[in-house]
A and B are shown apart, each in its own frame.
Chain A
């Protein structure tokens, strides 16, 4: 079974703090993704990475950065947390193969609250 783990289930931070969200996958997947989920907005892609040290902006990258130094690990960084970044953050990974075999597998999510 594919396993995607996220470093924290719940996190409370203060406005202006630098926040690191860590994600690790154990299936040697090429692709990794960070989403945020908000009520009424579904899942929105923040950043994704298709290889080590490679990254691409998703639909809502503003206020975020990412790091992928190792294949299995993908970090999301909030340089200066703001209250509008309070959300559920979901990490996912996929094989990178074209077609319907490229299913994304999700971690359990991190509920981040910024006060």
Chain B
């Protein structure tokens, strides 16, 4: 049972445009959400997170939006750069435990 879903396995965006990566979840007990970025042959690196008491968190070019009623979050990257090409994982946890549940990942390709 996939509690965190990333339905788009891949996404291609032109440099300078907005990249929008989506994530849906089913467990209503999740109250912290994180995005990780992974380059080939490297471990995932933390990108940005959001608590369920917020609906938006911004860090430079990266913004995460949370819609609790829809159990949906999205990561916006503006403007997209070639160095953003990587696999992006959405993850969630309940806040009282460290155990993260990851989505299956979306491969972002930023083209010139």
Residue numbers of A with Cβ under 8 A of B are 4, 9, 31, 33, 35, 40-45, 48, 50, 58, 90-92, 94, 96, 98-100, 102-109, 111
Contacts and interface: CB of A to CB of B under 8 A. Distances in A.
10 contacts: A42-B89, A42-B103, A43-B91, A48-B99, A92-B43, A98-B96, A100-B51, A103-B34, A106-B36, A108-B42
B49 A58 contact: no
Interface in B22-65: 32, 34, 36, 41-46, 49-51
A4 B49 CA distance: 20
Given A42-B104, A107-B43, A109-B41, 12 more contacts: A40-B9, A42-B89, A42-B103, A44-B102, A48-B98, A94-B98, A99-B32, A99-B95, A100-B49, A100-B50, A100-B95, A102-B93
B100 interface: yes
